[in-house]
Amino acid sequence: MARILITGGAGFIGSHLCDRLLADGHEVIAMDNFFTSHPRNIAHLVGHDRFRFVKHDVTEYIYIDGHLDAILHLASLPSPVDYLREPIKTLKVGALGTHKALGLARKHGAKFLLASTSEVYGDPQVHPQPETYWGNVNPIGPRGVYDESKRFAEAMTMAYHRYHGIDTRIVRIFNTYGPRMRADDGRVVTNFIAQGLRGEPLTVYDDGSRTRSFCYVSDLVEGMVRLLESDIVEPVNLGNPDEMTVLEFAKVVQRLTGGKSEIVFVTPRDERTKDDPHIRQPDITRARTLLGWEPRVPLEEGLQYTIDYFRHLLHLEGK
């Protein structure tokens, strides 16, 4: 049994990691300030004898009593709605938060896993994107606050590995979906599902030709656990290599939510799509070869789980 801290532990992915690590027999400490998450994500864990919650902002000094075997650093503002609204906070969480979490790992001699993102590749000119690609990021664009905060976090993680000898891991997460996502986070999955369940038009930006690939959350968590248990220091892509256009994806969601919503094409008049990647597909050769990992949950199966969750969530919220 290990004692593991998860920053961002009440978030979408973080809460699923709490579930998995507890199921594996570990002791889990979840840290969050609920800025982009919700207490309901971990409400079912309250009272668990191996679970503890600490409300804290990771940009401030972090103190955890007792020993720590591992730190999984997921705290961030990952959705466009959040990082466009709170650009400075996004940068601070990516930079100061990562610095504080790495300092804690050094103090405890703990293994450290950074949850990075496919956004480090920016609007890629290499397709699909391997870990060796350095990316095409606009550092002064509106999305740069998130992209560059994660690139900085990767650089700092590797610096702590090289200079302080910290045992580090870096996972680059591609589009992931599943229960416990926020209905208002502005991502394509949540936008379409919420619109479909409300009977509203599914709004596809521009002509819908941008591509994405979608990985179900349980597959991602499996990959992260395997990476944590490995000895791989270099970044590893985790995502689904099955690429599809946003329009194709909208048609799938349209059908699974009842088929009553029409698809409409809109051109945003704000910064939501400025520097938005036109293509996105992970090269998961490294994960397949070194971790024996690849996604297993079919898209429609995962979407049905997610739609069922959102149907319940929207009912609770009266929407």
Q: Is 146 a catalytic residue?
A: yes
Number of domains in the chain: 2
Regarding whether 200 and 124 lie in a shared domain, the answer is no
137 and 254 in a single domain? The answer is: no
What's the pLDDT at 73? 98
Q: What are phi and psi of 43, to 5 degrees?
A: -60, -35
Return the amino acid letter for 239.
G
pLDDT at 271: 60
According to DSSP, the β-strands at 211-213 and 243-245 are antiparallel
Q: What is the pLDDT of residues 171-206, one digit of tens each?
A: 999 999 999 999 888 899 999 999 999 999 999 988
* CATH number for position 267: 3.90.25.10
Is a pLDDT exceeding 70 seen at residue 41? yes
CB 77 within 8 A of CB 35: yes
In a domain, residue 286? The reply is no
Task: Indicate if 270 and 184 belong to the same structural domain.
Answer: yes
Cα separation, 307 vs 172, whole angstroms:
25
Residue 226 lies in a domain: yes
**Cα–Cα dist 168/154, whole Å:** 10
Whether residue 64 sits in one domain with residue 202: no
Would the pTM of this model clear 0.85, i.e. be above it? yes
Please determine, for residue 312, whether its predicted confidence score (pLDDT) is greater than 80: yes
**Do both 305 and 184 map to the same domain?**
yes
At 137, which CATH number?
3.40.50.720
| Domain membership of residue 84 as a residue range | 3-176+215-238
CA distance 171 to 115: 5
Q: Are residues 22 and 125 located together in one domain of the fold?
A: yes
As to burial, measured by CB atoms within 10 angstroms (0-12 exposed, 13-18 middle, 19+ buried), residue 319 is exposed
CB 252 within 8 Å of CB 212? no
- Residues in CB range of 81: below 8 A, 6 or more apart: 184, 185, 186
Q: Do both 44 and 68 map to the same domain? A: yes
State yes or no: pLDDT of 237 exceeds 70.
yes
29 part of a folded domain: yes
Tell me if 183 sits within 8 A of 223, measured CB to CB: no
Residues 207, 99 share a domain: no
Distance CA 203, CA 295 (A): 28
Mean predicted confidence (pLDDT) in 293-307: 97
Nearest by Cα to 166 from 111, 225, 236, 101: 111
- Which of 121, 146, 177, 216 is catalytic? The answer is 146
